[in-house]
Structure 1
Amino acid sequence: MNLFDPSQIVVLENEKVLLRPLEETDFEHLLEFSLNEPEIWRYSLLQAGGEENLKKYIQIALAAKKLGREFPFIVFDKQQNRYAGSTRFYDIQLSYQTLQLGYTWYGKDFQGTGLNKQCKFLLLEFAFEKLGMERVEFRADNNNARSIAAMKSIGCTVEGVLRSHMPDSFGGRRDSIVLSILKKEWENGVRDKLKSKLS
């Protein structure tokens, strides 16, 4: 499957969540988070707190999609019947059969509800079983304990820490933790274990 084929609309969903391609008009759906919950992006390299930052955030994501480097989604929580946040595939290396999964954030009302596991299952299933990826990588600020715990809980293996890897959003440098799931790990237990955690 060609992720960037305009004739194929990539929608991932189950009974609890729907992920569809992010569009410029989704600014309206995400603005409440940007205005009221700017702390969501505390550890993010791309800040989306505030109206102008959110516009830039969406524009940057869509520009990267046009170049075939990223594929951003908006997340809709069917349980609450509300838009919940965003996530994306990025650093997509089709020739190497690898990509990264990240830029994931949800509003406070959706954190700790199980929504993240629902999304990650659909995204990983799609990456390994439809796109034929051999490796899905995750990265985070090494100080972001909540994000690291979430990645470990879905079956990621910690590979190490890249020291002073990149600038952080506070004018300093951040250490980035690297985690991953391999296709053989997905097939040999990670998929079933994650599926068993969906409620």
Structure 2
Amino acid sequence: MEQIKIENDIVQLRLITQEDVEGIIEAANDPDIWMHMSDTLLSREAVLQYVENAVKEHEAGQMYKFVIIDKKTGKIIGSTTLFDISLQHKRLEIGYTWLNPHYWRSNINTNCKYLLLTYCFEHLGLHRVQIKTDDKNNRSQKAIERLGATKEGVLRNHMVRKDGTIRHTVMYSITKEDWPHVKQHFERNLLKKSFNF
């Protein structure tokens, strides 16, 4: 398995390993993170299972879960994932992103998405990257739209939330044709700013 590590001067993304358990426990221990997520990492057992699954999925080439490391502190502050991978069709999805709330209104997530999109389009040669979010997660929708992704529509009755309610899912994409403009938008406008969502 290739050890993927992507970084700039703000963040480092690298595949999750067993050594990351304590850092993930520290970063993930806030219930607000999990408000719109289907799973939570609020217990040691949940984090141990998360890390074990991540390593297995990496080895099988099914999913690539990264820890997000703040380059200033060297601490793990969240995670993001490449999944629904089809190299045959040259597409994948970015998602399952969570950050410690201390970083929610910073430029960390923007830098993560820039690094992942650059990796996807310029290293892997993909044709499409998609991003989905809960239709109730307005903060996430605004963040995705600021990136320059195109809203493709809503998948109605797509999932059941952990509270039993039905979730509609908003689908976005960036294509290889979009990427030069989106990349320029990142570099000119987004990478150095922080936003209030």
Could you say whether these structures have the same fold, taking a TM-score greater than 0.5 normalized by the shorter chain as the test? yes
Q: 1:72 aligns with which of 60, 65, 71?
A: 65
Contact 2:12 2:71 in 1 (8 A): yes
Partner of 1:25: 19
Provide runs of 4+ in structure 1 moved above 6 Å: none
Q: What aligned pairs does 1:123-134 form with structure 2 within 5 A after superposition?
A: 123-134=116-127
Contact 2:54 2:65 in 1 (8 A): yes
Partner of 2:79: 86
Q: 1:118 aligns with which of 108, 111, 118?
A: 111
Q: Over aligned residues, Cα RMSD in angstroms?
A: 1.3
Displacement of 1:79: 2.7
Unaligned runs of 5+ residues in structure 1 are: 1-5
Contact 1:15 1:78 in 2 (8 A): yes
Q: 1:177 aligns with which of 150, 170, 176?
A: 170
Residue range with higher mean Cα deviation, 112-121 or 63-72: 63-72
Q: Determine the C-alpha separation between the residues in 2 that align with 1:46 and 1:90.
A: 16
- 2:37 paired with 1:44: yes
Contact 1:34 1:50 in 2 (8 A): no
- Scaled by the length of structure 1, what TM-score is found? 0.91
Per-residue CA deviation, residues 84-140 of structure 1 (Å, 9 max, x unaligned), is 110010000110000000110110111111011111111000000000110000011
Partner of 2:182: 190
Displacement of 1:161: 0.5
Displacement of 1:173: 1.7
- 2:145 paired with 1:152: yes
- 2:9 paired with 1:15: yes
- Aligned residues: percent identity? 33
Q: Determine the C-alpha separation between the residues in 2 that align with 1:190 and 1:34.
A: 30
Partner of 2:195: none
Taking structure 1 as reference, are residues 131 and 91 closer, same or farther at Cα in structure 2, changes over 3 Å only? same
SS in structure 2 opposite 1:160?
Answer: strand
Partner of 1:56: 49
Equivalenced residue count is 191
Contact 1:39 1:49 in 2 (8 A): no
Unaligned runs of 5+ residues in structure 2 are: 193-197
- Scaled by the length of structure 2, what TM-score is found? 0.92
Q: Determine the C-alpha separation between the residues in 1 that align with 2:63 and 2:112.
A: 17
SS in structure 2 opposite 1:32?
Answer: helix
Displacement of 1:166: 1.3
Contact 1:29 1:83 in 2 (8 A): yes
